[in-house]
Amino acid sequence: MTTLMTYAGPEEPNALVTRTGGLPLAPEGTAWPTCVECEGPMQFLAQLLLDGQARPLRGDGGRAELVMAVFMCQTDPGMCDAWSPTGGANASFLFPVDGLTPMTAPEVDDPETVLLGACHAVRPVESPQETYGDAYEEWVRADGREPGHLLGQLGGRPDWLQADETPSCPGCGRGMELAAQLEEGPDHTTNMNFGGCGAAYAFVCGPCRGSAFLWQC
């Protein structure tokens, strides 16, 4: 089984749901992350609801206990190594779900360097296919579907565009689990930038409450 993330229209920017874009929800006082390379504020990409073991909720009634927030540098796209899981030009966080509040985006010349131009709702769709690649092909082939409306997968095994880059958890040394694989989105004017037709990978370690983010193209 593969759980696809499908585009479900516009979402409220403060909603406590799995979504791309909008405002990050974080504990009061959390600082907006900045890039270690250029020192600019990062762009907020996506929020994922997770259970107590940091597994993504798939729309089957599990209770959200953690929220994952993913950011990357887009101050000057292509300049900083935003693809790297360890370069400091992206950031990911796991926050306990209670007491979260919308963060205030930093004031910058171009607001889209910190916030995406659209906030998308995500509808999970179960596919009987074993791999994301097969599930993707099957979903896209069905009538009336736009490939851009497939936003990625929740959990499952990464479908690598390049070599396997599964991060090791800095806490326990084990390979991290995929929380979500993300496509760039349905509209090139508001999409996430993974190099053009790239894919991103958000990883977690449940026991350590650790996370990592990277992308490939």
Contact set with Zn ion (CB under 5 A) = 35, 37-38, 73, 75, 80, 89, 169, 171-172, 205, 208
Output 20 or 211, the one with its CB closest to Zn ion: 211
For residue 55, count other CB atoms closer than 10 A to its CB: 17
Of 35 and 212, nearer to Zn ion (C-beta) is 35
Cβ-based nearer residue to Zn ion, 75 or 191: 75
Q: What's the CA gap between 32 and 39, in Å, rounded?
A: 12
* Nearest distance in Å: CB 39, Zn ion: 7
- Find the angle CA(87)-CA(92)-CA(95) to the nearest 5 degrees: 150
Backbone angle region of 140, left / alpha / beta, with phi > 0 → left and psi within -120 to 50 → alpha: alpha
Q: Which is nearer to Zn ion, 38 or 161 (CB)?
A: 38
Q: 178: which residues sit within 8 A by CB, 6+ positions away?
A: 153, 155, 156, 157, 158, 201, 202, 203
Residue 50 CB, nearest distance to Zn ion (Å)? 15
3-state class (DSSP) for residue 209:
coil
Smallest gap from residue 74 Cβ to Zn ion (A): 8
Shortest Å, Cβ 186 to Zn ion: 26
